[in-house]
Amino acid sequence: MSEGRTELSGIGEFGLIEHIQQMFSTKHATSLKGIGDDAAVIGAGDGSMVVSTDMLLEGVHFDLAYMPLKHLGYKAVAVNISDIAAMNALPEQIVISLAISNRFSLEAVDALYEGIRAACESYKVDLVGGDTSSSASGLIISITAIGRVSNDKVVLRSGAKANDIICVTGDLGAAYVGLQVLEREKEVFLTNPEMQPDLEKYEYVVGRQLKPEARMDIVYDLAERGCIPTSMIDISDGLASELLHLSKNSKLGVKIFEDKVPIDHDAFETAIEFKLDPITCALNGGEDYELLFTISPLDYEKLKNHPDIHFIGHMHDNANQNVMITKQQTLVPITAQGWNHFTSA
The pLDDT tens digits for 273-292 are 999 999 999 999 999 999 99
Contacts of 88 (CB under 8 A, 6+ apart): 149, 153, 154, 155, 219, 222, 228, 229, 232
Topology of the domain comprising 165-333: Phosphoribosyl-aminoimidazole Synthetase; Chain A, domain 2 (3.90.650)
| pLDDT confidence tier of residue 344, bands split at 50, 70 and 90 | very low
The pLDDT tens digits for 46-101 are 899 999 999 999 999 999 999 999 999 999 999 999 999 999 999 999 999 999 99
pLDDT at 238 over 60: yes
Per-residue confidence (pLDDT) for residue 1, from 0 to 100:
44
Instruction: Give the whole-angstrom CA distance, residue 2 versus residue 165.
Output: 47
| pLDDT confidence tier of residue 338, bands split at 50, 70 and 90 | low
Higher pLDDT, 85 or 26: 85
* Helices 69-85 and 106-123, packing angle to 10 deg: 30
Per-residue confidence (pLDDT) for residue 3, from 0 to 100:
61
End-to-end CA distance of the chain: 19
pLDDT at 176 over 60: yes
pLDDT at 181 over 70: yes
Kindly state the percentage of the chain with pLDDT values over 70: 96
Q: Which of 236, 235, 253 is nearest to 244 (CA)?
A: 253
Provide the mean pLDDT of the chain. 92
Q: Which of 315, 291, 298 is nearest to 87 (CA)?
A: 291
As beta bridge partners, residue 311 has 167
Instruction: Give the whole-angstrom CA distance, residue 243 versus residue 233.
Output: 9
Per-residue confidence (pLDDT) for residue 345, from 0 to 100:
40
φ and ψ of 299, to 5 deg: -95, 0
Residue environment code for 224-253, b if the CB has 16+ CB neighbours within 10 A, otherwise e: eeebbbbbbbbbbbbbbbbbbbbbbbbebb
Instruction: Give me the amino acid identity at 6.
Output: T
- Domain coordinates of the chain in residue numbers? 8-153, 165-333
Say how many C-beta atoms besides its own lie within 10 A of residue 189's C-beta. Answer: 15
pLDDT at 31 over 90: no
3-state secondary structure the chain: CCCCCCCHHHHHHHHHHHHHHHCCCCCCCCEEECCCCCCEEEEECCEEEEEEEEEEEECCCECCCCCCHHHHHHHHHHHHHHHHHCCCCEEEEEEEEEEECCCCCHHHHHHHHHHHHHHHHHHCCEEEEEEEEECCCCEEEEEEEEEEEEHHHCCCCCCCCCCCEEEEECCCCHHHHHHHHHHHHHHHHHHCCCCCCCCHHHHHHHHHHHCCCCCHHHHHHHHHCCCCCCEEEECCCCHHHHHHHHHHHHCCEEEEEHHHCCCCHHHHHHHHHCCCCHHHHHHHCCCCCCEEEEECHHHHHHHCCCCCEEEEEEEECCCCCCEEECCCCCEEECCCCCCCCCCCC
Per-residue confidence (pLDDT) for residue 129, from 0 to 100:
95
| Burial (CB count <10 Å: 0-12, 13-18, 19+), residue 204 | middle
Cβ proximity of 288 and 170 under 8 Å: yes
| pLDDT confidence tier of residue 195, bands split at 50, 70 and 90 | confident
Sign for the pseudo-dihedral over CA of 295, 301, 304, 308: negative
Sign for the pseudo-dihedral over CA of 318, 33, 169, 143: negative
Kind of pairing between the strands at 165-169 and 291-295:
antiparallel
Cβ proximity of 335 and 345 under 8 Å: no
When the candidates are 3.30.420.40, 3.40.50.300, 2.60.120.10, 3.30.1330.10, the CATH number that belongs to 8-153 is: 3.30.1330.10
